[in-house]
Amino acid sequence: MELIESPEVQRLRRIRQLGVGHMVFPGAEHSRFGHALGAMALMRQALVTLRAKGTDISDDEEAAALAAALLHDIGHGPFSHTLEHTLIAGFTHELMSRELIVLLRNQLGHPLDVALQIFDSAYPRPFFNSLVSSQLDMDRLDYLRRDTYYTGVAEGAVGTDRIIRNLRVFPALDDDGPEQLVVDEKGLHAVENFLAARRLMYWQVYLHKAVVAGDRLLRAAIQRARDIGVKMGSPVLLFFLENEITTDRLDERAVIDNYIRLDDSDILYSLKRWTTSADPILADLALRFVHRIFPRVTYLDDQPADGMRAELISRTSAALNIDQDSAGYYVAVDRVDHSAYESNSNSIRVVNTKGRVTELSEMAGVPSVGALNSFETRWYVAVPKEIEIEDLV
């Protein structure tokens, strides 16, 4: 497929899947390129299954679904989620994925029209949309198994093959009603395990304390660079620091051009340069990141007290001998949250052998799904390792 050869997709080779995660899990240095290929491969597997169960899928639809799986994350920027909100205010990678798919569609034409519809969850046969974006989509199935393989975290193991083998489109084409994606009851436990595994991967990997710490440090360094109007570093990065790009400008030629030239190497190169910056705060933040001197993140049992941030800044200011404003770059009081499963309009549906469709959390025999059906939030503080905070937390 010529899409894979396109510069937009090849660029994903230079963006690490887990952002700073590879600095915490040494084997997890894989890129978004492998994930894009993997999601496409799972999509192919899913389409084979659905066809074998009698669902009619045209060759054009197949090509579009494969393309949508390949391109679903093409808008990711350097260090994946880490910098999502830092470079462009209000940004999410989905917005840029859409822009780039439009760009490729304009170059390459036809099947990407349908791929774009699927990406927009607007294709009239909704099961295609669900395969690309839902609580049980090819994206999630691929990144879980992939990140498990590369981090070596056993808890993420998922029966991907079993889940895909148990997908089905319901009702069949000749019935009325929209064709929705459902799971055969035989795959019930595999799906239950998938949700539990995904949740564990969040707390053990994606939201691991050292990962959160590295994220904060990287974002602080970038923010400082912008605030002092740094001139050194990769021009494509400086473009985003110097211009306050907002999400309504994503379709501008200059924004897109610079964005697709931007990858991890620009960030790393710039950080290394900044270690020699005349601004001591930027130089220190950059050095800490490059040499992997991350802050310490501590999870709190409850929401932090009101004065917490001020107190931490004050201590940091004293310990590092810097003013309070500067100390602000070193301190974070924030929260992470995760929802393992949401039973809503877009939830997972299971069909039993008699053809009755039930929303997952209403099935018998899956007690843990109910437990996962809520929002988990954890507050944390991040400060340099030099600062003592044991009396506060």
User: Within positions 12 to 31, which residues make up the interface with a copy of itself, using CB under 8 A?
Assistant: 13-14, 16, 22-23, 26-27, 29-31
As measured in angstroms, the least distance from the Cβ of 123 to a copy of itself is 28
Q: Per CB under 8 A, which region of 54-62, 156-164, 216-224, 240-248 contacts a copy of itself?
A: 156-164
Q: Which helix (H) or strand (E) holds 48?
A: helix 32-52
Name residues whose C-beta falls within 8 Å of residue 351's C-beta, 6 or more positions apart in sequence.
Answer: 168, 170, 182, 183, 184, 185, 357, 358
* Half-sphere exposure for 126 (CA within 13 Å, toward CB): 11
Q: Per CB under 8 A, which region of 91-99, 101-109, 115-123, 269-277 contacts a copy of itself?
A: 269-277
User: Within positions 316 to 375, which residues make up the interface with a copy of itself, using CB under 8 A?
Assistant: 364-365, 367-368, 370-372, 374
Cα–Cα dist 302/208, whole Å: 18
Cα–Cα dist 302/262, whole Å: 39
- Give the C-alpha distances (Å, rounded to integers) separating 263 from 79, 108, 109, 158: 8, 24, 26, 30
Q: Could you tell me if 349 and 360 are in contact, meaning their C-beta atoms sit under 8 angstroms apart?
A: yes
Cα–Cα dist 107/104, whole Å: 5
- At 225, list the tokens: 């660079």
As measured in angstroms, the least distance from the Cβ of 194 to a copy of itself is 9
Three-class SS of residue 284? helix
Task: Tell me whether residue 85 or residue 269 sits nearer to a copy of itself (CB atom).
Answer: 269
- Give the C-alpha distances (Å, rounded to integers) separating 67 from 38, 59, 111, 206, 256: 12, 12, 8, 27, 20
Rule CB under 8 A: choose which of 234, 258, 316, 317 binds a copy of itself. Answer: 234
Task: Tell me whether residue 30 or residue 125 sits nearer to a copy of itself (CB atom).
Answer: 30
Rule CB under 8 A: choose which of 155, 184, 311, 334 binds a copy of itself. Answer: 155
Name residues whose C-beta falls within 8 Å of residue 27's C-beta, 6 or more positions apart in sequence.
Answer: 150, 151, 152
- Give the C-alpha distances (Å, rounded to integers) separating 313 from 296, 310, 321, 327: 14, 5, 11, 6
Task: Tell me whether residue 192 or residue 284 sits nearer to a copy of itself (CB atom).
Answer: 192
| Residue 82 binds a copy of itself (CB under 8 A) | no
User: Within positions 238 to 267, which residues make up the interface with a copy of itself, using CB under 8 A?
Assistant: 261, 263-266
User: Within positions 179 to 208, which residues make up the interface with a copy of itself, using CB under 8 A?
Assistant: 189-190, 192-193, 196-197, 200, 203-204
Q: Could you tell me if 138 and 69 are in contact, meaning their C-beta atoms sit under 8 angstroms apart?
A: yes
User: Within positions 34 to 73, which residues make up the interface with a copy of itself, using CB under 8 A?
Assistant: 34, 37
Q: Residue 153 corresponds to which amino acid?
A: V
Name residues whose C-beta falls within 8 Å of residue 375's C-beta, 6 or more positions apart in sequence.
Answer: 337, 338, 339
Rule CB under 8 A: choose which of 1, 10, 172, 385 binds a copy of itself. Answer: 10
Task: Tell me whether residue 191 or residue 313 sits nearer to a copy of itself (CB atom).
Answer: 191
| Residue 164 binds a copy of itself (CB under 8 A) | no
Task: Tell me whether residue 113 or residue 337 sits nearer to a copy of itself (CB atom).
Answer: 337
Q: Per CB under 8 A, which region of 6-14, 44-52, 61-69, 309-317 contacts a copy of itself?
A: 6-14
Q: Rule CB under 8 A: which residues touch a copy of itself?
A: 5, 7, 10, 13-14, 16, 22-23, 26-27, 29-31, 33-34, 37, 153-155, 157-162, 189-190, 192-193, 196-197, 200, 203-204, 234-236, 261, 263-266, 268-269, 272-273, 290-292, 301, 364-365, 367-368, 370-372, 374, 376, 378
